[in-house]
A and B are shown apart, each in its own frame.
Chain A
C-alpha cells in the first residue's frame, strides 16, 4: 500500500527494519538515532522521522521506551531516556516499555514530581497486542519483587496485601472518597487530608471507571505513599527560572560540568541497562548526581508543568495516533493478503466488490489518520488548540473501524488466537485507551465546539503555515 510520501516511507522503512533487527530491545532507539531526533523537535524533518518510529512500532508490534521519554521531554532536560513519564488513566498510573531511572508523575493544577524508579513497583500487565504496559504502584514492595501477573494472588484467594488492595492511585481527594471503590477496602478514605491531586485528565467524571479494587490482586494501594512522596500540593515554583525545561541540576545552561552537552544523544554516559530493578540500574552521571544532591522526589512547579503538560500531551497523542495507524495498516495488509489468496466460488474473494469495498474503506480510514497526523507533525506548535485531541480521537476511531472491516474480510480465521489479526486489533484498542480514548475525546471535542460556537480553525492555520 502506498499512502505516504517518499521521505516518510524512508523513515518508516528504516524504523521497521531496526525494530525487526532489535527484536524489541530499547537499544533500537539508540541505533536509530532516535534520541538525537528527540533533541531536534524544532526541525520538521526530524519530527517526521521521530514519529515514524511509532508507526513502525504499530506495524511491528513492538513497544519501546520512546513514548514515556517523549512525554517527559517537555518537562525535564535529562540524559536520553533517563526520565519516563507515567501515563494516567482514570486514577491509575502506567508506563509503556521499560522506564528510565526516574518516573515523572504529573498532577494537573499541582505540578509534577520526579520520583526514583526504584521507589515504585512496576506490574507488567498482560495487554494483548504487544503493548508493554506496566502499572505503576508508588509503594516499594515490602515482600519481594513485583508480581508479574494475576498468579500473584495467594492460593487461598487473598491478595498479597488485602488491606491495600485497591488498584488505583486515587488522588482525587476527599470529594471522591465515596466513589466507585467500596469503602472498607479503600484506604484513601483513611487519609483524606493527605490526598494528592487528581491525576485523571478527564476530571472527576471518570473516577467511577477505576479498576475494581480488591479483585485486582497484583495491585497495591498507594494513597499514603503518594501523599508522602508528593507532600502537600506544590504551589511554589522551584527556583529554577522560567525555562521550558526543568534542568535537574538547577543550572540554566546546557553545558555539563565536564564539558559534554547536556543531552548528548548517543555520546552521553550510556544508559545501557534499562531493567526496571532499581538500584542496580546504571544511570547517567548527570542523574546520579542529581539524585545524590536531592536525595528524593523532585517537584516541578505548576508554572512549568502547565505548559509542559500541554506540549507533552500533544506529542504523546500524535505518537499514539501513528502507532495505531501502523497497527491498522498491518491488519489491512493481513486482510489484503487473505483476500487475494482465499478462494470461494472458484475465485479469490478479492474479486467480490463487497470484499473489495471493505478493504477500500479500511484504506480510507488509514489515509485519514495519516493525513491528519502528518498535519499535526507539520504544524506542531502552530496547530489549533486541541488539535492533538482531534488527531488522537480520529486515529482511535478510524483504526478501530479499519480493524473491524479487515476482521470481516478475514472471516473466522481472523478471530482465532493463532492468527495475528487480533494482535493488531488489540493493540489499537489498548492504545486508544491511553491519553484519552476516542470516545472521550470525541465527546469532549463536540462539547467544546458547541460551547465555543465555532469550528476548528484548521484550514486557516494550515494556510498561515503554508508560506513558511
Chain B
C-alpha cells in the first residue's frame, strides 16, 4: 500500500475501487431530503472508506491516518463527487476543524478520538458564535473557570452546525476578562454528552435541522482538552477560519459542479450566457481553492487571502443555483420528488452562504484592511 502515499497511485487506485460500484457509495448518492437519513448514509460511507483505507490517507499516522497530504483528501472527494455523492453533509467539518485539531490539539486525546471521527463513528461541532457575538466574535461571553482537574464552562452558543449529531464540540470560551477581547479566549474540546449540556436543534428555512443552540451550565472539561495555548484561542479560531474560508471551498465547490451538471439536461439555450457565467465562477473557485490547498500543503499560511476564496465560493454557489432555478422551475414548487427536494434545499442554502463562516461584509472588510491596506 506504500505507493498510495503518492497521489497518482492513490487517485488511480481509488478510481478503480469506485468503478467496482461499492454499495456505500451508491447509497450515499441517492437523493435524500431527510438530513437524519443523510447523516446515517454518510456515516456508513465514512466507515467503508476508513475500513478500505481510502479515508485514512491525507491524515498523519498519529491520528489513525496512513500519511499523504491534503491533496489526497482533495482527490478522494473529487472522485466521490464525480461518482454522484451529492455532498459531505456534516463531514464538511472534517475539512474545517480537523486540520486544526491535528495541528494544534492534544495528541493523546486525538490519537483516540480522530480515528473514530474518520471512521464515521463520531462527529464534531464548532462552538464559536453566540447570541451576542456573531461577526464580532471577540466579544463572546461563554466563560471557562478553572476548577479541580480542569475547567467549568458556562454560556450559550448558537448557529452551532450539526451539534445534534455531534459527540464533540470545539468551544471557544473566555478565560480572561471581557475587556481582554480576543486575547483572553481559549479553545476547549467539550464532550456534548456531559452533564450540563443542552442541545436544541433549530429547524431551518430549507427544512433541515442542521443548526442548533447549545447551552453549557458548569460543564466540566478535563485540563488536557485544550487546543492550542491557554488564552491562545484566537489563533486556533483563525487557523480554523483559514480552512473554513480557504481550503474548504475546494471540497464544497466540487458538489456545485455536480449540481450544475445534474440540471444541464433542462438548460435553455437562451440562457447559455448565464450558464457560462456560473462555469466561470466555478473555475475561479477551483483555481483559488486549489492555491489554498497547495499553500496548506507546503505550510504557508493563507492569511487574508482566504477571504477571496470564501467570496468566490459564495459567488459560484449563488450563480450555480440562480441558473438551476431559472432553468428548472419545478424546484420552486415540489417537495414530492426527492431529487427536486434536494435541489431546493441547495438553492435555499445558496441564499445564505454569504452569512455563515464570516459574512460577506466581513470578508470584504478583511480584504479592504489587510490586502488593500485601507
**A360 B280 Cβ-Cβ under 8 A:** no
Q: Which one of B279, B287, B308, B368 lies within 8 Å of A375 (CB-CB)?
A: B287
Interface status of A382 (Cβ within 8 A of chain B) = no
Interface status of B282 (Cβ within 8 A of chain A) = yes
**A393 B280 Cβ-Cβ under 8 A:** yes
Segment among A53-61, A214-222, A361-369 that sits at the interface with chain B: A361-369
Cβ distance B54 to chain A, nearest Cβ, rounded Å = 15
Interface status of A460 (Cβ within 8 A of chain B) = yes
Q: Which one of A1, A397, A450, A466 lies within 8 Å of B275 (CB-CB)?
A: A450
**B279 A374 Cβ-Cβ under 8 A:** no
Q: A3-B371, A353-B365, A463-B75 are in contact. Are A367 and B288 (CB under 8 A)?
A: yes
Complex contacts, B364 vs chain A, CB 8 Å: 353, 356-357, 360-361
Complex contacts, A336 vs chain B, CB 8 Å: 372-374
Interface status of B257 (Cβ within 8 A of chain A) = yes
Complex contacts, B283 vs chain A, CB 8 Å: 372, 390, 394, 456, 458
In the complex, what residue of chain A is closest to B371 when comparing beta carbons? A363
Interface status of A7 (Cβ within 8 A of chain B) = no
Interface status of A454 (Cβ within 8 A of chain B) = yes
**B280 A397 Cβ-Cβ under 8 A:** yes
Interface status of B204 (Cβ within 8 A of chain A) = no
Interface status of B24 (Cβ within 8 A of chain A) = no
In the complex, what residue of chain A is closest to B311 when comparing beta carbons? A364
Q: Which one of A367, A398, A449, A463 lies within 8 Å of B276 (CB-CB)?
A: A449
Tell me the complex Cα distance, A393–B273, Å.
11
Q: Which one of B8, B75, B264, B311 lies within 8 Å of A453 (CB-CB)?
A: B264
Q: Which of A355-394 contact B (CB under 8 A)?
A: 356-357, 359-361, 363-364, 367-368, 371-372, 374-375, 390, 393-394
In the complex, what residue of chain A is closest to B320 when comparing beta carbons? A455
Complex contacts, B280 vs chain A, CB 8 Å: 390, 393-394, 397, 442, 445
Q: Which of A1-47 contact B (CB under 8 A)?
A: 1-3
Q: A360-B364, A363-B367, A363-B372 are in contact. Are A446 and B271 (CB under 8 A)?
A: yes
Tell me the complex Cα distance, A109–B361, Å.
51
**A458 B286 Cβ-Cβ under 8 A:** yes
**A444 B264 Cβ-Cβ under 8 A:** no
Tell me the complex Cα distance, A340–B264, Å.
46
Interface status of A180 (Cβ within 8 A of chain B) = no
**B279 A371 Cβ-Cβ under 8 A:** no
**A360 B257 Cβ-Cβ under 8 A:** no
Tell me the complex Cα distance, A75–B283, Å.
29
Interface status of A467 (Cβ within 8 A of chain B) = yes
Complex contacts, B275 vs chain A, CB 8 Å: 445-446, 449-450
Interface status of B61 (Cβ within 8 A of chain A) = no
Which of A360, A443, A459 has the most B CB atoms < 10 Å from its CB?
Answer: A459
**A453 B261 Cβ-Cβ under 8 A:** yes
Q: Using an 8 Å CB-CB cutoff, how does the interface string of B131-151 with A read, 1 for contact, 0 for none?
A: 000000000000000000000
**A449 B264 Cβ-Cβ under 8 A:** yes
Report the contact-size class of chain A (Cβ under 8 Å from the partner): 35 or more
Complex contacts, A3 vs chain B, CB 8 Å: 305, 371
Tell me the complex Cα distance, A375–B250, Å.
15
Tell me the complex Cα distance, A458–B373, Å.
33
Interface status of B312 (Cβ within 8 A of chain A) = yes
Q: Using an 8 Å CB-CB cutoff, how does the interface string of A324-343 with B read, 1 for contact, 0 for none?
A: 00000000000010011000
**A450 B264 Cβ-Cβ under 8 A:** yes
Cβ distance B245 to chain A, nearest Cβ, rounded Å = 13
**A374 B287 Cβ-Cβ under 8 A:** yes
Q: A363-B372, A371-B291 are in contact. Are A446 and B78 (CB under 8 A)?
A: no
**B368 A460 Cβ-Cβ under 8 A:** no
Complex contacts, A2 vs chain B, CB 8 Å: 371
In the complex, what residue of chain A is closest to B278 when comparing beta carbons? A446
Which of A351, A442, A462 has the most B CB atoms < 10 Å from its CB?
Answer: A462
**A1 B371 Cβ-Cβ under 8 A:** yes
Complex contacts, A454 vs chain B, CB 8 Å: 261, 264
Tell me the complex Cα distance, A275–B123, Å.
70
Q: Using an 8 Å CB-CB cutoff, how does the interface string of B260-271 with A read, 1 for contact, 0 for none?
A: 110011010101
Which of B257, B274, B283, B284 has the most A CB atoms < 10 Å from its CB?
Answer: B283
Tell me the complex Cα distance, A458–B289, Å.
12
Interface status of B23 (Cβ within 8 A of chain A) = no
Cβ distance A293 to chain B, nearest Cβ, rounded Å = 46
Q: Nearest 6 CB-CB pairs, A to B?
A: A446-B272, A446-B276, A446-B275, A442-B276, A371-B287, A356-B368
Q: A360-B363, A446-B273, A449-B275 are in contact. List 13 more A-B contacts (CB 8 A).
A: A1-B372, A360-B372, A368-B284, A368-B287, A375-B290, A390-B280, A394-B280, A397-B280, A447-B269, A449-B276, A453-B264, A456-B286, A459-B290
13 pairs from A and B in contact (CB 8 Å cutoff)? A350-B374, A360-B365, A363-B371, A374-B287, A375-B290, A397-B277, A397-B280, A442-B280, A446-B275, A449-B264, A455-B260, A459-B286, A462-B286
